[in-house]
Amino acid sequence: MFDERLRSHHDAEHTLDTLLGRPKGHLNRVFNMKPWTAVTKKLSLPPPPPEKSGNTDRGIYIHVPHCDKLCSFCGLNRKERKNTDLDAYAGYIAEEIKAFGAFPYIREAPFNSVYFGGGTPTVFTVGQFALVFDALRRHIPLADDCEITVESTQHNLDAEKARTLAEFGVNRFSIGIQTFSDRGRKILGRTYGGEKAYDELLSLRAALDGTLCIDIIYSYPDQSIEEIEQDAEICVSSGIDSVSFYSLMVNKGSALARSIEAGETRFVRDIESDRERHNIFYNRLTAAGFTLLELSKLVRPGRDAYKYIQIQYGNGDLVPVGSGAGGRLAGFGIYSMSPGRRFVSPLGAEYAIYYRMLGELQFGLYDPARLARFLGPAAEQAIVEKARELSGPGFLVQDGSGWRLTPDGVFWGNNIAVEVLKAAIGAKKGKKTHA
Ligand code: SF4
């Protein structure tokens, strides 16, 4: 039914940009730029009451772009740490937090999530983390049940450091593992062999009461069925709370892309082999009691609320802190380049509606009335018709007044989200659309 799989939320977002006739990638990037003072003017006022903003939860995203070494596949906003002065970088983060905390918009309502992403935030020493946490506690009103996440690789987070971070308030650890296969780890450029990665994971699990999540990549070059089955078994047996699972994306310019282009690494992937690996992993974990939180996230019920992504997909405020941090604040999209350099663009009403719909479609539940609440009855009817059409090939099954994605539906989830949005937008604008 679909020619090409949209592998991520970003792919779907770019397709939505095209659909709306906008420059590709404008939603989170630079579009109709405004001066930073346009934001600070809004931040000088108290935040709107939740019933007006439509969203109660808000978060802070702290970006640490440094990594000890770069993985072959990675296309994230990161750079090799080399001789970076991390004391200075932690100091800059602390100053940014203090500066944001001076505004009434920030000070006068609680924050529900703090997310340290990267790069690898755990390149910071305990002392550097202490400086940042001191700034957070002094200047930001954190909710009592604030979710505080730190992303990490394994080699710079041992059990002792993890326990210290937990004492600082970190209650959610997200560990990039990608695979436990020795062969796969070598292709992906990961530190450690599979056995050591497994032992380190068990040691972290024993040390931590908080939420422990890992990342897994499937469909890497020549991944065997045994390799994906082994990764699934370890996710089930190791006591982790959730797993983000992604089909490998070969990012342009990455070491892996160069190796494939040079013929040093063989990479042949068709949709069927990708789908098979996705469904083996998905079905094994759901059989063990994991449930779908969003298209690329399976969780043990009650063990991972993942508030950060709920805020992200729900269009809530996300304060961007650090070089390379993107966020959304008081109706503006913001991208921080370096100290004092930020790109700012107003989000606009259309963005708010469609981006939020796309965000809701990431959770795998299709409730037409809820989805179309901003667009009216014509859009609701169009979503119902599209959901019925998509249940034909087995992507959706009826669930109460709505529909739920099947395993194949999860695999094609971003394509399906775009089709449903196209139908809703077409109905709103009085046009008929076709898949
Ligand atoms: S995958 Fe993680 S550790 Fe590897 S280069 Fe990317 S951000 Fe750094």
Domain assignments of the chain as residue spans, ordered by start: 1-25+364-429, 32-313
- pLDDT (tens digit, 9 = 90+) per residue, 205-251? 999 999 999 999 999 999 999 999 999 999 999 999 999 999 999 98
Torsion of CA 259, 262, 265, 270, to 10 degrees: 100
Report d(CA 375, CA 427) in Å as an integer: 9
For 93-118, what is the mean pLDDT?
97
Residue 237's Cβ-count burial label (10 Å; 0-12, 13-18, 19+) is exposed
Region for 25 from its dihedrals, namely left if φ exceeds 0, alpha if ψ lies in -120 to 50, beta otherwise: left
Ligand 1, closest atom to CA 119?
7
- pLDDT (tens digit, 9 = 90+) per residue, 153-179? 999 999 999 999 999 999 999 999 999
- Give the bridge partners for 111, in sequence order: 142
Cα 366 to chain centroid distance, Å, stands at 20
Mean pLDDT taken over the chain: 92
- The closest residue, in CA terms, to atom 6 on ligand 1 is 74
Q: Among the listed ranges 1-5, 372-376, 383-387, 399-403, which one has the minimum average pLDDT value?
A: 372-376
Query: 145-180 in b/e burial notation, b at 16+ Cβ within 10 A?
Result: ebbbbbbbbbbbbeeebbeebbebebbbbbbbbbbb
- pLDDT (tens digit, 9 = 90+) per residue, 128-155? 999 999 999 999 999 999 999 999 999 9
pLDDT over threshold 90, residue 180:
yes
Say how many Å lie between the CA of residue 191 and the centre of ligand 1. 11
Say how many Å lie between the CA of residue 318 and the centre of ligand 1. 22
For 296-325, what is the mean pLDDT?
95
What pLDDT is attached to residue 31?
52
Sort strands 341-346 and 211-218 into parallel, antiparallel or unpaired: unpaired
Locate 162 and state its tokens: 């993890």
What pLDDT is attached to residue 334?
92
- The closest residue, in CA terms, to atom 5 on ligand 1 is 70
For 69-86, what is the mean pLDDT?
89
Say how many Å lie between the CA of residue 70 and the centre of ligand 1. 6
Report d(CA 300, CA 424) in Å as an integer: 33
Class in CATH terms, 32-313: alpha beta
Q: Which of 76, 175, 179, 187 to mutate to test the pocket of ligand 1 (most atoms within 8 A of CB)?
A: 76
Cα 140 to chain centroid distance, Å, stands at 23
* Sequence-distant (≥ 6) Cβ neighbours of residue 21 within 8 angstroms: none
Say how many Å lie between the CA of residue 375 and the centre of ligand 1. 40
Say how many Å lie between the CA of residue 61 and the centre of ligand 1. 17
Give 33-85 as a DSSP string: -B-HHHHHHHHTSPPPPHHHHS----EEEEEE-EESS--TT--SS-EE-TT--
Say how many Å lie between the CA of residue 79 and the centre of ligand 1. 9
pLDDT over threshold 70, residue 26:
no
For 6-21, what is the mean pLDDT?
84
- The closest residue, in CA terms, to atom 7 on ligand 1 is 119
Say how many Å lie between the CA of residue 189 and the centre of ligand 1. 9
Ligand 1, closest atom to CA 78?
7
What pLDDT is attached to residue 338?
83
Ligand 1, closest atom to CA 74?
6
Ligand 1, closest atom to CA 178?
1
Q: Residue 32 carries which side chain, given as an amino acid letter?
A: N
pLDDT over threshold 70, residue 264:
yes
Q: Residue 171 carries which side chain, given as an amino acid letter?
A: N
Say how many Å lie between the CA of residue 113 and the centre of ligand 1. 22
- The closest residue, in CA terms, to atom 2 on ligand 1 is 119
What pLDDT is attached to residue 433?
47
Percent of the chain with pLDDT over 90: 74
Q: Which of 67, 174, 175 to mutate to test the pocket of ligand 1 (most atoms within 8 A of CB)?
A: 67
pLDDT over threshold 90, residue 14:
no
Report d(CA 187, CA 165) in Å as an integer: 31
Report d(CA 167, CA 84) in Å as an integer: 27
Q: Which residue in 218, 246, 248 sits closest to 230, CA to CA? A: 218
List pocket residues of ligand 1, CB cut-off 6 Å: 67, 70-71, 74, 76, 78, 118-120, 153, 176
Ligand 1, closest atom to CA 153?
3
Q: Which of 74, 123, 186, 248 to mutate to test the pocket of ligand 1 (most atoms within 8 A of CB)?
A: 74
pLDDT over threshold 80, residue 93:
yes
Q: Which residue in 189, 165, 183, 68 sits closest to 118, CA to CA? A: 68
Q: How far is CA 419 from CA 27, 383, 388, 389, 413, in A?
A: 19, 9, 12, 11, 10
For 396-423, what is the mean pLDDT?
94
* pLDDT interval class at 20 (50, 70, 90): confident
Say how many Å lie between the CA of residue 78 and the centre of ligand 1. 7
Report d(CA 420, CA 390) in Å as an integer: 9
pLDDT over threshold 50, residue 342:
yes
What is the helix (H) or strand (E) element at residue 183, kind and residue range?
helix 182-188
* Sequence-distant (≥ 6) Cβ neighbours of residue 433 within 8 angstroms: 422, 423, 425, 426
Say how many Å lie between the CA of residue 374 and the centre of ligand 1. 38
Ligand 1, closest atom to CA 151?
2
Say how many Å lie between the CA of residue 226 and the centre of ligand 1. 25
